[in-house]
Amino acid sequence: MPRSHTFCRICEAACGLVAKRDETGALVGLRPDKDHPASQGFACAKGTRFVEVATHPERVLHPRMGAKRASWDEALDAVSDTVARLRKQHGPHSVGIYFGNPMAFNSLGVAAIVHMVGQLGSRNVFFAGSQDCNNKFAAGRLLHGNPFVHPIPDFEHADLAVVFGSNPYVSQSSFVHLEGGSLGAFGGIEKRGGTVVWVDPRRTESAKRWGRHLPIRPATDAWLLLALLARVGRPAHRADRVEGFEELLAAVQDIDADACLRRTGISPDAFEALVRDLQHSDRTAFHMSVGVNMSGFGTIAYVLMQALSYATGNLDAKGGSVFAGTSAPVRWIARRAGLLAEAHARVGGFRSTVRSLPGGILADEILTPGDERIRALIVIGGDPLRSIPGSSRLEEALEQLDFLTCIDMFESRTAAHADVFLPATSWLERWDVGIASIPFQARGRAQLSGPLMEPRGEARHDAQILAEIATRLRLGGPLWPMLRKDVSRWFPAPAAGVPLPSARPGRYLQRNRVTFWNQDIAAELQRLEATPEPAPEGLRLIGRRRRLGHNSWLHGGHRDGEPEASAWMHPDDLAARKLDDGATIELRTSVGALRVSVLAQPDVAPGTVVMPHGVHGVNLNDILPSGPEHIERVSGQLAMTGIPVEVAAAE
């Protein structure tokens, strides 16, 4: 019988889905699985409409060499022969690898990448995480000694939730596995008489649905957290294995709280209301996502949020922040897989995070002369030209490469430059285990699924493709022969909810050390303090989540009445510039300009311009500042939100 159940592999939520088939048994759609133990009938449109992506007429279904169709053997031989030659002539670092967000949710694909990186011996590995979440991996390393250990907000038992820079009603959220989706998580808090506070420059769809909105100036969340931590003070109960909290608190209390609030634009009354909420709540869950990660101070903000959770008695506590019951095996696996291995970039000396360097220096590593510059690049499930700031310089760099190969489903902006294109399967066409969700689950379970449809055309699993390249390069080990086989047949039936250890509040701090103060944390705090206070009348540019967009890897989703290529501004800001709703404007930053239409949105905080990134033809990332000076040194995270911008009518 055709398989009917699966789970989404777009983000950590891993929502359960049920196949919709026609009378011939062909897959025609997906619907939320009401019986799924975690998502309980919730799934966003990105997942339920993915059949449209998998069957899209523009999908590439055959290998290509340049513009011409090629056989698999021809294409794979071209890749392996070129890589082998360049490695022999110029060393292992002459070959770079870039992989995008989809690979984080492709269990065998990521295993193949990690194995290949170790065997190639190249330090030049880049991951889309430097555009959206490297700060969290770096903070995990600083606080918990491992980048994959993170506190999970226990929304299921919380009386108060404080959420920074996230809009889960549109696209769930990252670094958390929501039980019952956003409706179950935040609707449940309100049903229990609790409160949800959304800290965001705009009143998002989530803030309209639940709780109250606390508007904040873009990229100033770290300042709010400083003020809150200074006000809350020392915790009532100290944990023996928590170190450095007194040092962090002393440094925080030396900072002028009024100056912190002035930067955020939050009124004293609104701040005091939040303080009262924290003081009167017995169980407070904090969560932070991409809107803060990209701020340029995402690492210190994430550290301060966990310190605030500890100070209020909510770290490792029911209804606060808990730790996955699988944290010990996750630590072991990360170490054994080599994910803790470190390298330092040739350009800027950046330290790797989760064995990858910041994407913001990819162009420099190609263009900067030297024996170890990148000459060949393998791009897997990603579109760096669309997702990394400074795309014009990166495009120049790609043109200077000796060789570029892309493994993907569609010809992206990056893949348009590829010497060889290798077509990959979608997650609907492969077997998977949901490994990316496991570190972020309060209730532990492993999800497995077989394919719901046959691979289209000549598409192959990413892991199979990498195994074929590795075999031709004569890379050893038992993994490659296994991955060359059709792994979708290993597990003929899916199984959802295989039990794993669940979180046990109070146990983590009994067994593990948390360090709130070290040289890197001190340096990030000093860097934050040294930042000049921006002029209050200036405009700041931020991104936004879209209902159907898949980060910047895959764009084109739209619905009637919601044009992608439009900026949002508060009506007062439009009026001050004598601009009409719907007018064509020019967004100008320090590095470039972009023409878009503008829509009046009263839910956007004054002084803020909102626009999605990565959109075809009007890519916001084209005008974001790039280069080493715009990258967090401690994490490799790129600063991509809160960017100063000028707005004027387009001539």
pLDDT tens-digit profile of 174-210?
899 887 778 889 999 999 999 999 999 999 999 999 9
What is residue 341's DSSP assignment?
A: -
What tokens does 539 get?
A: 């405009």
Q: pLDDT category, 545, cuts 50, 70, 90?
A: confident
pLDDT digits (tens, 9 = 90+) for 338-358: 889 899 999 999 999 999 999
| 3-class state of residue 242 by DSSP | strand
DSSP helix/strand/coil, 344: strand
Cβ burial 470-508 (10 Å sphere, 16+ → b, else e):
bbbbebeeebbeebbeebbeeeeebebbeeeeebebeeb
* pLDDT for the residue 73: 98
CATH number corresponding to 73-133+331-499 = 3.40.50.740
Alpha-carbon separation of residue 301 from 142, 150, 264, 318, 649 (angstroms): 13, 14, 13, 23, 36
Using pLDDT thresholds of 50, 70 and 90, give the confidence band for residue 476: confident
d(CA 642, CA 44): 27
- The average pLDDT across 103-132 equals 94
* Pick from 512, 466, 579, 476: nearest CA to 331: 512
Please name the fold of domain 154-323+505-528. Dimethylsulfoxide Reductase; domain 2 (3.40.228)
Per-residue model confidence (pLDDT) at position 445 = 87
pLDDT mean over 153-159: 96
CATH 3.40.228.10 segments of the chain = 154-323+505-528
Confidence band for 617, pLDDT divided at 50, 70 and 90: confident
The answer to whether 90 and 98 are in contact (CB under 8 A) is no
Mean pLDDT across 149-155: 96
Residues of the chain with CATH 2.40.40.20: 534-649
**pLDDT digit string, tens, across residues 60-84:** 999 999 999 999 999 999 999 999 9
Strands ordered across the beta sheet of 27-32: 5-7, 16-21, 27-32
Position 3 confidence tier, pLDDT thresholds 50, 70, 90: low
The predicted structure's pLDDT at residue 560: 44
Residues 6 or more apart in contact with residue 341 via CB below 8 angstroms:
118, 352, 355
Strand duo 593-600 + 514-515: pairing:
unpaired
534-649: what fold? Answer: Barwin-like endoglucanases (2.40.40)
- What are the residue ranges of CATH 3.40.50.740 in the chain? 73-133+331-499
Q: What is the pLDDT at residue 559?
A: 45
